[in-house]
Amino acid sequence: MTEEHQGTAVVAKRVDAGEADLVEFRDLARAAGYEVVAEVTQTRKEDPALCLGEGKADELAAVVAEAGAGAVLFDNRLGPYQTFNLGNRLPEGVALVDRFRLILEIFGQRAATKKAQLQVELAELRYELPRAEAKASLAKRDERPGFMGLGEYDESREQDIKRQIAEISDELEAIETTEAHRREQRRESGFDLVALAGYTNAGKSTLLRRLADELDIEENAELHPDLDATAESEDRLFTTLGTTTRRADMGRRDVLVTDTVGFVSDLPHWLVESFKSTLSEVYRADLVLLVVDVSDPVEGIREKLVTCHDTLYERNEAPIVTVLNKTDKVAADELRRKRDALSALAPNPIAVSALDGDGIAELRDRVDDELPPLERERLVLPMCDEAMSLVSWVHDNAHVNDVDYGEQVVVDFEARPSVISRARSKASEMAVEA
């Protein structure tokens, strides 16, 4: 295969019924760095040996040869035997990549943090495990190395994969424990935690930039080591693989908003499970903003909402607000029709344009309404240096309604229960010392 064709690909898909839709998969291919030069589709029941029918498999090989493509990208999950059989029909040197291997390629390219890299490695191992198990099973029965072209059988490989999965899972568990502690520190410091969820390319990163304050990272590095002064905002899939957290302007509240990895359709359980550490930022939030691209066809939005709900409602206890983003791309009457059509899945959504800023004020108000209610407190303190320090701390961690400096200091404020408890404790210590 010549260098100029290594990045070109033919995309293929088989569906049981209806017409094969390759729009999202083409986007995935581009996200992985491929140039799509042709596509081959088929509607029929799956062939156990080839996925496609035999004639269509030969047609695929001919299209690849004519296009001089360097890869075939399959928008299906291919078993190890199907991969081998199809690979034998393709021109020499052509890579064969199924849907989940392609997603793993993208994840691998985007994994910039240790946590993200571990999650990608875990997903790759879980992808490889059934293939190693298949080799082991057939080798034991056939006693011939490389049976059915699956490669030389190494009896230790299956156990090695299982060992690595266990080790990486333990390492990610330790990271999650650290992050859980950080979340509790944030809550104790008066922060509400809001997570952005939704499909990749729905505009979550753009929305984060719209909501967020500029923040001096150095001053917050100890409490918030994952805070980032800039959130990427690009029109491509999987820009956000790890998480980015920024402080947001929500009026009365101190809010930290976390942008999380985007969903993509038809992900197997093992792949979602590999990224549960990242998804824990969603599951453990005080509020989830489920962002969807309202410019998508309504049926596509409905399918995406169902997938997101299946993932989120399984473990999430926080309220979920649907945000219909990209209103700048749809007319007002189209937006009304889509809101009505989606009312069962998104009964009270907020429509915004993260790009233009339309609807952002209403979104901030909705966030304030949906977050756990603030409690009101009034502290009476002696006039002293310690009282001034406490008032300064309350300003940093709560919404102060009024401070009266007379013979005593009276501070009236609203805050999360944990902040009020700490303020009372500090005031009690001051009273004892006085």
Annotated binding site for GTP: 198-205, 259-262, 325-328, 353-355
Would you list which residues are annotated within the binding site for Mg(2+)? Answer: 205, 240
Length of the chain: 434
CA dist 9 and 68 (Å) reads 9
Q: For residue 337, what are the contacts with CB-CB under 8 A and spacing of at least 6? A: 298
Which pair of tokens denotes residue 405? 């400096």
Least Cα distance to 166 among 107, 134, 126, 114 occurs for 126
Q: Strands across the sheet with 375-382, in order?
A: 375-382, 408-415, 399-405
Q: Strands across the sheet with 287-293, in order?
A: 244-250, 253-259, 191-198, 287-293, 320-325, 350-351
Would you list which residues are annotated within the binding site? Answer: 198-205, 240, 259-262, 325-328, 353-355
Least Cα distance to 286 among 312, 317, 260 occurs for 317
8 Å CB contact between 275 and 358:
no
8 Å CB contact between 50 and 85:
yes
Per DSSP bridges, beta strands 71-74 and 399-405 are unpaired
Residue 213 host element (H or E): none
The per-residue b/e assignment along 313-334, b for 16 or more CB within 10 angstroms, e otherwise, is eeebebebbbbbbbbeebeeee
CA dist 250 and 150 (Å) reads 56
Least Cα distance to 12 among 65, 62, 74, 58 occurs for 74
